[in-house]
Amino acid sequence: MDKKSNKKYFLNILLILTLGAIVIYLTMKDELQASLKALMSASPIWIIFSFVLMGVYFLLDGMNLYTFGRLYKKDYNYKHGFTNAISGTFFNGITPFSSGGQFAQVYIFNRQGITPTNSASILLMAFIVYQSVLVLFTAVIMIFRYQVYSAVYSGFFSLAIVGFLINFFVIAGLFLGAKSKWLQNFICNNIIRFLSRIHIIKNYKDTTIKISRSLENFRNELGILQRNKTVLIKSSIINLFKLIIMYSIPFFAAKALHMDVTISQLPDFIGICSFVYMITAFVPIPGASGGSEGVYFMLFSPILGTIGTPTTMLIWRFITYYLGLIVGGLVFTVNKEINRSE
């Protein structure tokens, strides 16, 4: 990584910390003493349990890349997969729209003996499975809890639906475009041409080439997944558990603060937290800093109150976001294989 990149990443981290601190201060300032008192009296057992859960999340993330890596390199081991996954967490967390993770992971795969072409295939397959599981998981939540959430969170529920629809159309469009040559030609010859004529797209030829290549790559990786059903099923299960863990942390943060929540409320916590991520997925700031904290505060306030919401938010945000930055940054920095001289 060159000095220019390091400077950019440093500025992004500074932006993340600044925005996070401002939003946390604004949400806690009226009940600062009470919130600090609640944090000081938090249950160590539930805090430790939350950290362990997130540790399991990181291990599962490593298992996912290890599973795909074995398709291209038979001696690819779990340590490689974990190192790559947690490093990707760091770079995703410090770049807008999580855009830096894949570039870093291709670089790390190359250091681990997998060519950039094959590593791009691995990351695309991982994306296909994750996006599919995310859409199905969120669809189930919306179907079964639609009446409750639409009544309590009328405005935010609409934003969550928009986020869900964007994710749905991305994966559905890729699947349909990959499966249907007619649809691919229709997109390139009609939609892209029209957008080019009204000057939304500048270069028609380059754009159609990129779309055709992307759909061809998607088609190829889809074929690999269909031929390796064991890998597909294993990755789907891993991603399902990852989502459940990530979305359940606010519940265990509430338990740590001795709040009156029961296990029967866990599905609601998972559902509401999924909306937080769905709404803030398109915030163009590294880690959706500021936006994540603000949306969390507004969505969880009805059930956690003015003190419980900001205090659980601190625990949730540190465990699900800042912990990954710390661990991922350390692993990337000290790993000898990644940082060896050519």
Q: Does residue 30 register a pLDDT over 90? A: no
Under the banding of pLDDT at 50, 70 and 90, the label for residue 93 is: confident
Specify the pLDDT at position 10.
66
Note the pLDDT of residue 83.
95
Q: Which amino acid is at 104?
A: A
Structure token pair of residue 69 = 């890596």
Specify the DSSP class assigned to residue 199.
T
Of the two residues 152 and 3, the one the predictor is more confident about is: 152
pLDDT of res. 37: 77
Tokens describing residue 179:
């499966």
What does the alpha-carbon distance between residue 335 and residue 153 come to, in Å, rounded to a whole number? Answer: 45
Whether residue 42 has pLDDT greater than 60: yes
CA–CA separation, 177 and 339 (whole Å): 39
pLDDT of 210 > 80? The answer is: yes
Contact by Cβ (8 Å): 125, 217: no
Nearest residue to 28 (alpha-carbon basis) of 336, 302, 247, 297: 297
The pLDDT of residue 3 is above 60: no
Residue-wise pLDDT tens digits, 225-274: 889 999 999 999 999 999 999 999 999 999 999 999 999 999 999 999 99
Taken in order 324, 329, 330, 335, the sign of the CA dihedral is: positive
pLDDT at 234: 97
Which residues have C-beta within 8 Å of that of residue 48, sequence separation ≥ 6?
none
How confident is the model over 43-71, as pLDDT tens digits?
A: 999 999 999 999 999 999 999 999 999 99
H or E element that contains 317 = helix 291-317
pLDDT digits (tens, 9 = 90+) for 69-82: 999 999 999 999 99
Give me the helix-helix angle, 204-227 and 154-179, nearest 10°.
80
Q: Following DSSP, what letter does each residue of 256-290 receive, concatenated?
A: HTT----GGGHHHHHHHHHHHHHHHTT-SSGGGTT
| Count of CB atoms situated within 10 Å of the CB of 194 | 12
**17-26, 227-236, 306-315, 321-330 — which one is most confidently predicted on average?**
227-236
> What's the pLDDT at 7?
64
Q: Where are the alpha helices (DSSP H) in 29-43?
A: 32-40
| Residues 222 and 10 sit within 8 Å (Cβ to Cβ) | no
**Mean pLDDT estimate for the chain:** 85
Amino acid at position 49, single letter: F
Distance (Å, rounded) from C-alpha 202 to C-alpha 196? Answer: 6
**φ and ψ at 265, to 5 degrees?**
-90, -10
For the ranges 130-134, 175-179, 217-221, the one whose mean pLDDT is highest: 130-134
User: Each residue of 231-244: b (16+ CB within 10 Å) or e?
Assistant: bbebbbebbeebbe
Report the 10 Å Cβ neighbour count for 215.
23
Q: Which of 124-128, 141-145, 239-243 has the highest mean pLDDT?
A: 239-243
Query: Tokens 């057992």 correspond to what residue?
Result: 45
* Per-residue exposure over 149-174, b if at least 16 CB sit within 10 Å of its own CB, e if not: beeebeebbebbbebbeebbeebeeb
